Amino acid sequence: MRTIFGRLLKLNLIYWQWMSLSVLLGAATIGSSLGLMSTSAYIIAMAALQPSIADLQLAIVGVRFFGISRGVFRYLERLLSHQTTFRLLARIRIRFYEGLEPLAPAHLLDFQSGDILARIISDIETLQQFFLRVLAPPLIAAIISILAGLFIARYHLPLAWLLISGLFLAGVLIPGLIRSLSRGMGQRLIQTRAKLQATLTETLQGAADLLALNADHAQLKRVNEINRTFLLLQRQTGRFQALGDALSGWVIHLTIAAVLIIALPIVSNGGLSGVDLTVITLAIIASFEAVLPLSEAFQNLETTLAAGRRLFEVIDAEPTVKDPLKPLPRPETFELQSEALSFQYEETGPLAIADLSFHLPEGGCLAIVGPSGAGKSSLVNLLLRFWDPSGGRILLGGQDLRDYSASDLRSWMAVLSQNTQIFNGTIKENLLLARPEASEEQLIEAARRAQVHDFIMNLPETYETWVGEGGVLLSGGERQRLALARVLLKDTPILILDEPSANLDPLTEQAFFDSLCEIIEQRTTLLISHRLVAMDLADQILVLHHGRLIEQGDHISLLKAGGFYRRMWDLQMQAEVVERIPNLNFNRNSCFKLS
Amino acid sequence: MTIEITPREPSSSPTTLSFRSPMNLDQRLLKLAYNLPLPLFLSVLLGFLAGICLVLQAYTLSKIIYIVFLLHGSLQDVYPLLGGFLGIALLRATFTWTSDVTAQHLASHIKADLRHRLLDHILSLGPSFIRQERTGEMVSILFEAVEALDAYFSQYLPKLALAALIPTSFLFFIFPLDLTTAVVLAFTAPLIPFFMILIGSATSTLTQRQWRVLSRLSAQFLDTLQGLTTLKIFGRSREQVKFIAEMSETFRQSTMNILRVAFLSALVLEMVATISTAIVAVEIGLRLLYGRMSFDHALFALLLAPEFYLPLRSLGARFHMGAAGVTAAKRIFDILETEEPIYKAVQHPMLSKIPRITFHKVHYQYEDRGVAAVQDVSFCLHPGNKLAFVGPSGSGKSTIADLLLGFIRPSQGTVFVDDLPLDSIDPSFWRSFVTFVPQKPYLFDGTILENIRLARPKASPSEVQQAAELAQADPFIRDLPNGYDTQIGERGQRLSGGQVQRIALARAFLKDAPIVILDEATANLDPENEFLIQEAVSQLIKNRSTLLIAHRLGTVIDADQIMVMHEGRMLEAGTHTELMDQKGLYARMMAAYQGSTSQTSLETSGLIGENV
């Protein structure tokens, strides 16, 4: 079954034993009510005939049993169903992660914002409802319907059919009809809801612009209109649902009346006793408890299906990059080269890189600069084989990058970027990520070389200090140094520095590049930046603009040439002196190479 | 994420010790409902009538069975009763439905009003307030918190009233018929709310902790997903599966420990209701047996017994809605009760064509910061002049723009417009005199045309195009697939920073206000865009007063006056020549700039020596 429902079901069925037990307990809960009401009815109906008390003893015990068992069953059912649900949740998380992992980061590009990732996570949490509120209620309802039907059939078969029809009408037909009638409304409700949320967000984010443009009242009116539409739709769907609930409630009484109309003549001619009549009536009333939650299950079915659809959409995508059947071994040298490289993210999209050729010898340092959108990050994505080029090729050690396996390739490269994630864990855990088998000495050595060891030693729990979500407990500079230590620990022949000093204040930036000098010496290095910092580290600088190479040379010659690079430099200096002068002596590009 | 999970206690947040009504009755929420007394009253009344219908149904049903069972009546004898039963059932369905609809109506109106008031209030608190909070958090208050009130008003509040009314009224019916049953019910009923509150308060801290655990788990999962690229680069992404499994397992165990207790409340609620029903059944059974009671009364009592507890149980099932409503209310009213810093001035005075602006000893201090953002700033912006503020970020430049736009009011000192204090002028009237080009202009969902037209909603397309031409934006807009009708943010249609800047300038041209506040972009290093923007700006400031918040030196040199800001204070003021003569900070910046690009730096880099 490839439908969303089928796939969700398959995911759920791993725990079918637990689920079955939990459904049985749920049925036992309602069964207890059924038992309680029918035995109670039996007691008073029998008592009315004034038999000896001994005839009632068993029923009295029964009533007491059912009175207690219902609560106990419910308790056990809740515990078990939640246990199962949490196990399922874990299962769904893992399944999703396993599906997502091969796709990263190409297919995650659209999810980069935390909001969308957060939505995925809430979708996963929605899916835990699938068993609890979608699958279990109809199963319980079915069991109770059959049980109650069999029970009534013992008295008179047509009455049982009547009951089953009543249960079906109240539990399935009416809610189903209501749902299908209000489906269009529901769709519009979801759309309006999304629109309202988006408009609220933009109103807050653009508040300064709105107020300054005197457009705040117009925007407020716009929000108000969307809000009113949203609430109107909400009321309309609510009205429909309430109608369904009321109708289902009415069906119970309709069923009772119908049962009475059939049963009374039979009682009159002695086919059924008055005791039977009383028991039948109360049992029927009690059995409807099983079908009333079904209207909610219909609603939950829709939300879980929607959540499931979104999740499967994400993980069903084909991985962008495929490994060769026979990947090449580690190359002899780590020189990098590109030939007439071009790349676009989407077939119809603009060229992110156009006809780019460069050569980076082993141990050299190549800088790639240009304004944002010049194609710098795309190049990094190609080097790491997160994507493959649309045209031309990249060579590593003289061989096409596509002939290596992606994971081998990544094991030869270390990346230091502004997006490097520091995970919610201890400093040590974060460092070990780069090399799990690293010894204590190696950790400290790497931290020392990244000039972060002293800082770590001053923390309350040194290397065991918790860094918080995304490393929030660290400053930008500390995070970046920790990331550098991680890169050093990985100790790879190729080093990619992607805007390594973004978010650093000037003083820290200076120190940061000082610590980089030595490290760069020993590796093949690619330095990517939109700001012209530490450019004298590079043997060669490529200036990209709109994906094209427009200038190249070293720092001095590019400055001298007075072209685009020079203008970038002037603009940057104009801005930077303002920021820096009051705070420190102006002193840039002072990276003295140690040799 | 990572290798092993080391569970940490989340920093112990101070639990709210303030008194919380055990029944989740928040005064401020109740006031909202009192403002619409009719729907609330109607909903409760209709719900109550539905309850009464139930009593009548139980009565007719017990009569029917009694007549057939013990009086040996036939179907014909009970037809009228049966008809009555169905009629009442229909009536009850109608009452239930209208009661629900009325309650939804009530909730809907309250939400509409509240959301409008909230957004209006947030906007009048202004951008400086919004910047202090997280946008996501505020959107969640505007949306989710307001939605959480829906269940509070449409379900919790009516059910609360009905939980008190319906069982009480049942007692009135049962008392005259069967005293013993009435006593059993009357004494057991209070046990339900009693245990509900008891267990509710015992588990509420537990539940809170569970929520914290859950949100931590989600956060960790999010952390792993966000870092997937990093993990992949380190070749560590596949083994995270094990970590996710462990994380989930820990969560399951800790949550189940809590739920074991929390579910006790459900157990007690069920128990009280079912055991009492069992007691009633046995007790009336025995009295029937000894002929001390009539069958129809007994059946009536038995039919009513479970229904008696139903409103209480259904309240119990909605208890969390009440709690959620009160929590949401707190978040909402925290904002609504934040006082507006701006006087609601209504004056629309006669101002000169280009009003003169004077800052007189202005101080401003943000509430949450110790140091004043702006201290003792005085200056005068004469009509047609260009006044430039220069200084590092955090020196108070943007605060001056906020003050001038009326987003914030000075803590001390006064801003004058012509000779009137800015406080006395209606803010939106005043803003019609000012154009603000922010550092990072915001583009709204919609077309380019609509975005430019925000500045003047009545502008014709050709006027918009003219403004775009002046802003050097027309060529690139025409190159877009749908020109001016291109939707912002459509797939692949992301605009560069420089293009957004030019759209903001087009807005400024269209607004055509006599005073321009220009906050220069810092992150835009694209020389091509920079040139076009400077072209447009020099057009824009012609014949206008300009307050330039400068981030680079090139744009300040020709200003009529340059103010050098540092740590909230004005260090130096004067024209370029005057400031160069002063040899202060400004002169040092200039020297450094020239040094960085001209001979000195090239010399130190070895260029000159190499070439000459």
ipTM: 0.84
Number of H helices, E strands in chain A: 22, 10
d(CA A114, CA A458): 32
Peptide bond into A105 cis (omega under 30): yes
d(CA B399, CA B411): 12
Question: What's the distance, CA B173 to chain centroid?
Answer: 48
Q: Using the 8-state DSSP alphabet, how is residue A292 labeled?
A: T
**Domain contains B595:** yes
d(CA A427, CA A443): 10
The H or E element that residue B429 is part of is helix B427-431
| Residue pLDDT, tens place only, A483-533 | 888 888 888 888 888 887 776 666 667 777 777 777 888 888 898 888 887
Pairs across A and B, CB distance < 8 A: 479
Residues A458-479 have a mean pLDDT of 76
Instruction: Report yes or no: B381 and B357 within 8 Å, Cβ to Cβ.
Output: yes
For residue B88, name the pLDDT band (cuts at 50, 70, 90): very high
| Residue pLDDT, tens place only, A325-351 | 888 888 888 888 888 888 887 777 778
3-state secondary structure string across A324-351: CCCCCCCCCCCCEEEEEEEECCCCCCCC
**Domain contains B227:** no
B508 is written with which tokens? 């400024």
Residues A66-80 have a mean pLDDT of 91
Q: What is the CATH number of the domain that holds B319?
A: 1.20.1560.10
- Taking the Cβ of residue A593 and every Cβ of chain B, the question of whether any pair is shorter than 8 Å is answered with no
Interface mutation target, options B233, B261, B294, chain A, most CBs of A under 10 Å: B233
| Listed range (A77-86, A98-107, A247-256, B458-467) with the worst mean pLDDT | A98-107
Q: Using the 8-state DSSP alphabet, how is residue A466 labeled?
A: B
Closest to A283 measured CA to CA, from A256, A265, A254: A256
> What residue ranges in B322-427 does DSSP mark as E strands?
357-364, 374-381, 386-390, 412-417, 420-421
Residues of A in contact with B454 (CB under 8 A): 209-210, 213, 215, 218
**Domain contains B512:** no
Instruction: Report yes or no: B392 and A582 within 8 Å, Cβ to Cβ.
Output: yes
| Residue pLDDT, tens place only, B567-610 | 888 888 999 999 999 888 888 888 877 776 654 444 444 433 33
Instruction: Report yes or no: B379 and B359 within 8 Å, Cβ to Cβ.
Output: yes
* Domain total of chain B: 2
Interface mutation target, options B68, B192, B224, B452, chain A, most CBs of A under 10 Å: B68
Three-class secondary structure of residue B174 per DSSP? helix
Closest to B184 measured CA to CA, from A189, A201, A67: A67
**Domain contains B581:** yes
**Domain contains B336:** yes
Closest to B536 measured CA to CA, from B463, B437, B442: B437
Instruction: Report yes or no: B264 and A102 within 8 Å, Cβ to Cβ.
Output: no
What is the model's pTM?
0.81
**Triad B103, B104, B107: Cα angle to 5°:** 90
Domain membership of residue B134 as a residue range: 18-174+315-340
**How far, in Å, are A316, A378, A388 from residue A346 at the CA level?**
18, 12, 12
For residue B10, name the pLDDT band (cuts at 50, 70, 90): very low
d(CA A251, CA A244): 10
| pLDDT at residue B594, rounded to an integer | 76
Instruction: Report yes or no: B193 and B268 within 8 Å, Cβ to Cβ.
Output: no
Interface mutation target, options A70, A429, A578, A586, chain B, most CBs of B under 10 Å: A578
Collect all residues with Cβ–Cβ distance below 8 Å to A580 and sequence separation of at least 6: A506, A586, B392, B592
DSSP string, B310-334: HHHHHHHHTHHHHHHHHHHHHHHHH
| Amino acid, res. A211 | L
Closest to A303 measured CA to CA, from A189, A164, A467: A189
A402 is written with which tokens? 């596509």
Residues of B in contact with A541 (CB under 8 A): none
Domains of chain A by range and CATH? 4-315 (1.20.1560.10), 336-412+492-580 (3.40.50.300)
**Domain contains B437:** no
Number of H helices, E strands in chain B: 25, 10
The reply to whether residue B123 touches residue A207, judged by beta carbons under 8 angstroms, is yes
- Name the residue among A70, A208, A430 with its Cβ closest to that of B127: A208
- Name the residue among B219, B233, B248 with its Cβ closest to that of A384: B233
Instruction: Report yes or no: B305 and A63 within 8 Å, Cβ to Cβ.
Output: no
**Domain contains B196:** no
**How far, in Å, are A116, B233, B446, B487 from residue A113 at the CA level?**
6, 20, 21, 20
B393 burial level (CB within 10 Å; 0-12, 13-18, 19+):
exposed
> Could you tell me which residue, B3 or A312, shows the higher pLDDT?
A312
| Residue pLDDT, tens place only, B30-71 | 888 888 889 999 999 999 999 999 999 999 999 999 999 999
| pLDDT at residue A587, rounded to an integer | 40
A2 is written with which tokens? 């490839």
Selected residues 132-191 of chain A with any CB under 8 Å from a CB in chain B:
none
Collect all residues with Cβ–Cβ distance below 8 Å to A519 and sequence separation of at least 6: A449, A484, A488, A495
Q: Kindly provide the b/e burial profile for residues B156-171, where b requires at least 16 CB atoms within 10 angstroms of the residue's own CB.
A: bbbbbbbbbbbbeebb
**Domain contains B571:** no
d(CA A245, CA B314): 15
